[in-house]
Amino acid sequence: MGFRVTRSIVPNLFTLGNLFSGFLAIVSFAQSVNDERFIPIGALYVLAAAIFDMLDGIVARLVRSASELGVELDSLCDLVSFGIAPSVLLYVVYYHNTGPIGTLLAALPAMAGAYRLARFNVQLTSLEDKQYFRGLPIPAAALTVVSYVVFYLHRNIISADWIGITTNFVTTTVALAMISTIRYDNIPRPNRHAIAQRPIFTVLAVLALGLIIASKGSLAFPIMLIYIFGGALRHTIGWLKQRSEESTDFDEFED
C-alpha cells in the first residue's frame, strides 16, 4: 500500500493550516479563563485561519486541483475555526455564568455554522467561485463575533446594563444570518476578471479592508454589521419589489 503525492496536497495543506489555527484559537480561548491576555492571541489565530481559508482556494485554482474532497475538508476545518472557536470564546468571556440558556446561546454560532456548511455542500453544483452565497458565510460570522468580543466586550466599552442585550443580539444575529436564505456577496478574487464583474463592490471591499487595517481591527465589527444588515436590506427590497410586480401582474390579469 503506497502513498501517492498529488497536486491536491498543496491546497489541502493550507486547509489543514486553517484547522490547526482554529485548534490553537480554541486552546488560547480556554487558557484565557486564567489569563485574559490569551483572548487577543486566540483572535489572531482565527485571523490566521481565515487567511489559510482564503489561500487554499486560490492555490487550488492555481495548480488546478479543486476537488469535492477539498470542499468537504474545507467545510470540516471551517466548522472548527469559524464555528466552534467563536462559540468557545463567547462561552468563556460571557456565557459561562448565565446557566443552561447561556450555554445554548453560546453554541448557536457553531450549530448554525454546521447547518450552513452542510447546506452549502449539498447544494454545490460547481467548483467555480460564486459571486454570492446563500446565507452569511461562516468566516464572516466568526469575524463579527470575534471582533465584537475582542474590541468591545473584552475592553469594557459597553455599559454593564447593555452587555447582555448586545451580546445576545450579536450571537443570535450571526446565527440567523447564517441559516437564512439572504444573498451575501462573496469577496472578489484578486484577478482582473473578478474585479471587472463587480467593480463597485471590489472598491468597497478594498476600502473596508483598509479601514480595518488602519484602525488595527477595531472597525471590523461595525463594518461586518454593515455587511450583514446591508445584505438583509437588499434582500428585503428585492422581495418587496417581486411582490409588487406579482401584484401588478395579477391586477392586469383581473382587468
pLDDT in tens, 46-63: 999 999 998 887 887 777
Q: Which three cell numbers stand for residue 248?
A: 401588478
Q: Which three cell numbers stand for residue 19?
A: 484547522
How far apart CA 216 and CA 205 sit, in angstroms, is 16
CA end-to-end distance (rounded Å), the chain? 75
* Cα dihedral value 74, 32, 147, 191, nearest 10: -30
Residue 171 · residue 104 · CB < 8 Å: no
Task: Categorize the per-residue pLDDT at 251 as very low, low, confident or very high, splitting at 50, 70 and 90.
Answer: low
Q: Which three cell numbers stand for residue 124?
A: 454545490
How far apart CA 225 and CA 140 sit, in angstroms, is 10
Which among 139, 130, 207, 208 has a CA at the least distance from the CA of 174?
Answer: 139
Given this model, what pLDDT does residue 250 score? 52
Given this model, what pLDDT does residue 241 score? 84
What's the mean pLDDT in 211-240?
A: 93
**For residue range 195-206, what is the model confidence (pLDDT) as tens digits?**
677 778 788 888
Residue 28 · residue 41 · CB < 8 Å: yes
Given this model, what pLDDT does residue 244 score? 77
Given this model, what pLDDT does residue 247 score? 65
Given this model, what pLDDT does residue 25 score? 97
**For residue range 148-175, what is the model confidence (pLDDT) as tens digits?**
999 999 888 888 889 999 999 999 999 9
Phi, psi at 215, each rounded to 5°? -90, 5
Residue 142, pLDDT above cutoff 80: yes
**What's the pTM?**
0.88
Chain length of the chain: 255
Residue 139 · residue 184 · CB < 8 Å: no
* Cα dihedral value 116, 121, 124, 130, nearest 10: 50
Residue 131, pLDDT above cutoff 90: no
Mean pLDDT of the chain: 87
Domains of the chain in sequence order: 9-188 (1.20.120.1760)
**For residue range 21-34, what is the model confidence (pLDDT) as tens digits?**
999 999 999 999 99
Task: Categorize the per-residue pLDDT at 127 as very low, low, confident or very high, splitting at 50, 70 and 90.
Answer: low
Q: Indicate the range of 55-59, 64-68, 141-145, 162-166 predicted with least confidence.
A: 64-68
Residue 188, pLDDT above cutoff 70: no
**For residue range 4-21, what is the model confidence (pLDDT) as tens digits?**
556 667 788 999 999 999
